């Protein structure tokens, strides 16, 4: 009986020791990340049959379990992924918002200065100082666009770098997990019944870390080996076999890097945007938000360049030459070819050369396009709206090889030469590189086309409210030549109401030496015609290859056939002529982008607002995700977290138990001594 008392005492001691050890372990690990508190389960030993009774024989530690609620842990994982996603997106969008606000404001400021200097030239066109100021402002404007694009590029590089780092981290975690799985499996395979709690904790901690980067789900098998899946169910760790992630440059745009899941020597592409966590946020930011902002800025740069270049071409510079481009032409060969990216999967035998020509910036959308060659025709796919249009066979269209979509008309043409192979795919980004390659190309202030080429002077004898206006100048030098000797000494337009409700017009050389015949004769007229009341007449002159167009509108009734309303069009070129400069300055208030609805300032304000609103939403999402995560974390910690006060109390408890158990031994000893002394 005493023997068993010893044993009981010892068992109590040992049990208390293990309890104390476990409590000590908990206390030591109070600040360990991902530590689940452990508890030693004490069980009473089986009683020994003493004939009539069962006498208990002490206690033993059944198992040291960790308090782990897999359901709350899973909830914590899910919320961690969401938090990782929301935080990452919030941080990046805030950065983009700040870039847009500072660099975007710089663009607005320099645009304002540019137009201010243009107005200066409109007031005093012969001043060379004012003209140089216009050019230096143009330089500042294009530099600002280049800067903004640089900022976007830097952000892309940063995001790509982060994706690479995260992929490397995930691969590391994967390898670690596989090793732990192996160790756990071996420890399970042996005859030990206890669980390797700390290894399990380590494994769970790694999975927690993983969940910040991507969405994680796990499946545990009978050997406690965990299969880990990321994203929508892609296996990352298959038991003891790790798979790794690798980053490849994108196709066709190398800067749109892609993820690949590598297993041994084979690899499979992974769609980063569906992975969840901060990885998905990085992809979403790079491929959606940043690229949208970049496309809009590129389109704005293109709109500014083409509007001002066109305006320049309408007038004459200080030397009487047609105005040259003030900014880089939007259809240079480099820009045109840069807008189409051929996929690397295209057959090497394909000799197709492709480019995009922009026809009308106001119709240009910010959608993404793809052109595929299949079944003998090129088809244009709008990846944003899902629409497609058959462009025709290679070499078709006018001029040959030019395919212009018409339903709807996007404002660009797809130009190709060469022989494609079925399956060839091309990514089309019509606005690519416009802001990066925008430069002010004029260097001499006198090359600013401030002067208009021709002007209309109504006769002082006109009595009705009709007018003749020059609505379109295609070639100002030719227009000027047409209105000056030797071709014509001015151009005379006379209009009168030949029949009630019908106006007849004639266009003659305004040479005073050879006046036109009495109406209605049109002998020797350059052009003639009629138009009904309420509409107007548009005439291109010279009639064969128009260099400009005039519009006769209003009600030019005149006073009969002998006294029609007369208008003379002649050369208006002069150093003091600022007609074209005024027209150029007016483009500041003209709607150009988005179907002609947005001025330049409005366009950039819209882009900045959209980014700001996205950033603000991301902020809200991040706050919500943080709150949700905190709740899940709290719930998890309620079960698994170490509370120092509780452990302190436990220390006392087990200390007392130990002391009491040792007292049993000493009592057993005393009993034995008593028996021994009794039989001496």
Partner 1 sequence: MRVSTAQFYFQNAQQLSAKQSDVNEQIQYLSSGKRVLTAKDDAVSFGTLAGYKDELSNIAKYQRNINQAENRNGLQETSFANAEDIMQELKQLFIQANNGSLNDSDLDALAELAKNSQEQLLGIANIKDETGGFIFSGFQTQTTPFNLQADGSVIYQGDSGVREIQIGKSVMVATNQAGDAAFEKVSNDIGDFTPSYNANTSGISVNRAVVANPSTHDVLGNPPDYNFTFTSATDLTVTDGNGAVVFNTVAYTPGQTIAFNGVEVQLDGNPLPGDDFDLTPQEEVSIFDTIKNAIDWLQVGSSPANQVQHAVDYNQILGQLDQALNHMTGNRVDAGVRLSLVDVQANNHADSELTITSGHSNIEDLDFAKAVANFEQSQVSLQAAQQSFVQIKNLSLFNYL
Residues from 630 through 649 that contact partner 1 (CB under 8 A)? 630, 633-634, 637-645, 648-649
Q: Which stretch binds partner 1 (CB under 8 A): 159-167, 419-427, 464-472, 559-567?
A: 559-567
616: contact with partner 1 by CB under 8 A: yes
Which CB, 373 or 573, lies closer to partner 1?
573
Which residues within the stretch 565-604 sit at the binding site for partner 1 (CB under 8 A)?
572-579, 582, 585-586, 588-589, 599, 601-602, 604
The residue assigned the tokens 């919030």 is 90
| Shortest distance (Å) from residue 456 CB to partner 1 | 11
Q: Which one, 118 or 447, has the nearer CB to partner 1?
A: 118
Shorter beta-carbon distance to partner 1: residue 169 or 586: 586
Asked if 198 touches partner 1 (CB under 8 A), the answer is no
Angle in degrees, 0-180, between the axes of helices 128-189 and 277-284, rounded to the nearest 10: 160
**Token representation of residue 578:** 């600022």
Q: Pick from 94, 156, 295, 580: which binds partner 1 (CB under 8 A)?
A: 94
CB of 646 to partner 1, least distance (A): 8
Q: What's the closest the beta carbon of residue 78 comes to partner 1, in angstroms?
A: 18
* Residue with token string 């706050």: 623
- Contact status: 119 vs partner 1 (CB under 8 A): yes
- Choice from 83, 86, 122, 159 touching partner 1 (CB under 8 A): 122
Q: How far is the CB of 65 from partner 1 (least distance, A)?
A: 17
CA distances in angstroms from 37 to 5, 151, 222, 561, listed in the order given: 33, 48, 23, 109
17 neighbors 38 (Cβ within 8 angstroms): no
Nearest approach, Cβ of 205 to partner 1 (angstroms)? 13
Which lies closer to partner 1 via its Cβ, residue 460 or residue 677? 460
Q: What does the alpha-carbon distance between residue 27 and residue 44 come to, in Å, rounded to a whole number?
A: 26
Closest distance between partner 1 and the C-beta of residue 615, in Å? Answer: 4
Among 31, 190, 406, 535, binds partner 1 (CB under 8 A): 31
With CB under 8 A as the rule, give the number of residues binding partner 1. 78
Query: How far is residue 332's CA from residue 312's CA, in Å, rounded to a whole number?
Result: 17
Q: Are strands 226-230 and 216-220 parallel, antiparallel or unpaired?
A: antiparallel
Let me know the angle formed at the C-alpha of 193 by 188 and 196, rounded to the nearest 5 degrees: 60
Distance in Å, CB of 79 to partner 1, minimum: 14
Tokens of 660: 């009491």
- State yes or no: cis peptide before 316, omega within 30 of 0: no
Specify the residue, 621 or 643, whose C-beta has the smaller distance to partner 1: 643
* 75 token code pair: 């909830």
- Which part of the chain contacts partner 1 (CB under 8 A), choosing from 153-161, 296-304, 380-388, 615-623? 615-623
Complex with partner 1: residue 244 or 577, whichever CB lies closer: 577
Give the residue with the Cβ less far from partner 1, 74 or 586.
586
Name the residue nearer to partner 1 (CB basis): 113 or 188: 113
Q: If DSSP codes are grouped into helix, strand and coil, which group holds residue 236?
A: strand
- Whichever of 48 and 471 has its CB closer to partner 1, that residue is 471
In the complex with partner 1, the residue whose CB is nearer, 90 or 339, is: 90
Question: What are the tokens at 65?
Answer: 């379990």
Within 95-114, which residues bind partner 1 (CB under 8 A)?
97-98, 100-101, 108, 112
Residue from 375, 562, 676, 678 binding partner 1 (CB under 8 A): 562
Closest CA to 226 of 262, 276, 271, 173: 173
Site for partner 1 in 487-526 (CB under 8 A): 515, 517-518
Minimum CB separation from partner 1 for residue 60, in Å?
28
Nearer to partner 1, 98 or 337 (CB): 98
CB of 453 to partner 1, least distance (A): 11
Q: Which of residues 244-303 bind partner 1 (CB under 8 A)?
A: none
Is 23 one of the binding residues for partner 1 (CB under 8 A)? no
The residue with tokens 């500041």 is 588
Question: Which has the closest alpha carbon to 99: 142, 48, 50, 148?
Answer: 148
Q: Out of 385, 461, 530, 666, which residue is the one contacting partner 1 (CB under 8 A)?
A: 461
Among 78, 226, 611, 661, binds partner 1 (CB under 8 A): 611
The enclosing H or E element of 608 equals helix 600-640
Q: Which is nearer to partner 1, 112 or 310 (CB)?
A: 112
Whether 264 and 253 have beta carbons less than 8 Å apart is answered as: no
For partner 1, the binding residues in 440-459 under the rule CB under 8 A are 451, 455, 457
CA–CA gap between residue 181 and residue 236 (Å, rounded): 13
CA distance 244 to 261: 6
Which string of b and e fits 457-472 if b means at least 16 CB within 10 Å?
eeeeebebebbbebee
The residue among 94 and 336 lying less far from partner 1, judged by its C-beta, is 94
Minimum CB separation of residue 582 from partner 1 in Å reads: 6
517's tokens = 């015949």
Question: Which C-beta is closer to partner 1: that of 26 or that of 425?
Answer: 26
Quote the least distance from Cβ 309 to partner 1, whole Å.
21
Q: Which residues ranging from 344 to 363 are in contact with partner 1 (CB under 8 A)?
A: none
Q: What secondary structure letter does DSSP report for 405?
A: -
Cα(66)–Cα(35) distance, integer angstroms = 9
Report DSSP state, residue 531. E
Closest distance between partner 1 and the C-beta of residue 108, in Å? 8
CA 76/CA 83 separation, integer angstroms: 10
Q: Are 38 and 209 in contact (CB under 8 A)?
A: no
**By CB under 8 A, residue 56 contacts partner 1:** no
Q: What is the spatial distance between Cα 347 and Cα 341, in angstroms, rounded to a whole number?
A: 14
CA distance 508 to 434: 45
Which residue, chain included where needed, has tokens 């497609």? 388
Tell me if residue 288 falls in helix, strand or coil: helix
d(CA 417, CA 419): 7
- The sign of the CA dihedral 169, 171, 174, 178 is negative
Q: How far is the CB of 163 from partner 1 (least distance, A)?
A: 24
Task: Return all residues near 13 (Cβ < 8 A) that are at least 6 apart.
Answer: 658, 661, 662, 665
Please report how close the Cβ of residue 626 comes to partner 1 at its closest, in angstroms.
8
Least Cβ distance, residue 515 to partner 1 (angstroms): 7
Subset of 383-422 contacting partner 1 (CB under 8 A): none
On whether the CB atoms of residues 229 and 216 are closer than 8 A, the answer is yes
């Amino acid at each position: 009986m005493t023997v068993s008392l010893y044993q009981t005492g010892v068992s109590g001691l040992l049990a208390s020791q293990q309890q104390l050890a476990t409590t000590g372990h908990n206390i030591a690990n109070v600040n360990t990340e991902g530590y689940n508190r452990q508890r030693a389960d004490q069980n009473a030993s089986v009683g020994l049959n003493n004939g009539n009774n069962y006498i208990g024989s002490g206690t033993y530690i059944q198992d040291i379990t960790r308090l782990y609620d897999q359901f709350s842990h899973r909830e914590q994982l899910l919320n961690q992924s969401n938090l990782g996603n929301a935080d990452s997106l919030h941080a990046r969008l805030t950065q983009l918002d700040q870039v847009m606000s500072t660099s975007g404001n710089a663009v607005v400021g320099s645009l304002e200065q540019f137009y201010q200097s243009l107005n200066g030239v409109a007031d005093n066109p012969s001043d060379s100082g004012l003209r140089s100021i216009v050019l230096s402002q143009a330089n500042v404007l294009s530099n600002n666009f280049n800067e903004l694009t640089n900022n976007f590029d830097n952000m892309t590089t940063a995001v790509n770098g982060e994706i690479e780092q995260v992929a490397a981290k995930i691969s590391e975690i994967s390898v670690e997990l596989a090793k732990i799985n192996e160790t756990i499996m071996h420890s399970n395979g042996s005859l030990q019944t206890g669980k390797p709690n700390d290894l399990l904790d380590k494994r769970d901690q790694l999975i927690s870390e993983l969940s910040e980067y991507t969405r994680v789900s796990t499946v545990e098998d009978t050997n406690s080996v965990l299969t880990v899946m990321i994203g929508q169910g892609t296996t990352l760790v298959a038991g003891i076999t790790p798979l790794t992630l690798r980053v490849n440059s994108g196709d066709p745009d190398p800067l749109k890097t892609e993820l690949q899941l590598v297993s041994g020597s084979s690899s499979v592409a992974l769609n980063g945007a569906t992975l969840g966590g901060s990885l998905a946020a990085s992809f979403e930011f790079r491929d959606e938000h940043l690229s949208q902002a970049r496309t809009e800025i590129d389109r704005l740069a293109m709109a500014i360049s083409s509007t001002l270049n066109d305006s320049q071409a309408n007038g004459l510079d200080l030397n009487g030459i047609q105005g040259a481009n003030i900014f880089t032409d939007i259809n240079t060969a480099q820009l045109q070819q840069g807008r189409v990216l051929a996929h690397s999967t295209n057959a090497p035998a394909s000799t197709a050369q492709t480019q995009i020509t922009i026809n009308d910036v106001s119709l240009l959308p910010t959608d993404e396009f793809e052109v595929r060659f299949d079944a003998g025709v090129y088809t244009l796919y709008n990846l944003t709206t899902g629409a497609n249009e058959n462009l025709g066979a290679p070499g078709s269209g006018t001029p040959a090889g030019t395919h212009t979509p018409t339903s709807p008309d996007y404002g660009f043409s797809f130009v190709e030469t060469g022989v494609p192979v079925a399956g060839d795919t091309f990514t089309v980004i019509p606005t690519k590189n416009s802001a990066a390659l925008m430069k002010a190309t004029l260097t001499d202030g006198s090359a600013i086309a401030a002067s208009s080429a021709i002007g209309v002077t109504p006769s002082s004898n006109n009595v009705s409210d009709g007018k003749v206006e020059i609505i379109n100048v295609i070639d100002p030098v030719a227009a000027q030549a047409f209105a000056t000797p030797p071709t014509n000494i001015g151009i005379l337009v006379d209009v009168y109401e030949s029949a009630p409700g019908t106006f007849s017009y004639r266009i003659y050389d305004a040479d005073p030496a050879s006046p036109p015949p009495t109406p209605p004769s049109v002998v020797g007229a350059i052009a003639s015609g009629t138009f009904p009341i309420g509409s107007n007449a548009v005439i291109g002159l010279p009639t064969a290859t128009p260099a400009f167009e005039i519009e006769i509108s209003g009600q030019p009734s005149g006073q009969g056939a002998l006294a029609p309303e007369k208008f003379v069009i002649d050369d208006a070129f002069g150093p003091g002529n600022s007609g074209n400069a005024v027209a150029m300055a007016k483009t500041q208030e003209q709607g150009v982008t988005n179907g002609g609805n947005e001025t330049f300032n409005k366009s950039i304000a819209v882009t900045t607002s959209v980014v700001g609103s996205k950033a603000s939403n991301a902020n809200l999402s991040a706050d919500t995700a943080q709150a949700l995560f905190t709740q899940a974390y709290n719930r998890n910690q309620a079960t698994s977290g170490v509370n120092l006060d509780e452990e302190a109390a436990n220390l006392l408890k087990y200390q007392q138990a130990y002391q009491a158990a040792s007292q049993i031994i000493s009592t057993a000893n005393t009993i034995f001594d008593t028996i021994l002394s009794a039989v001496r």
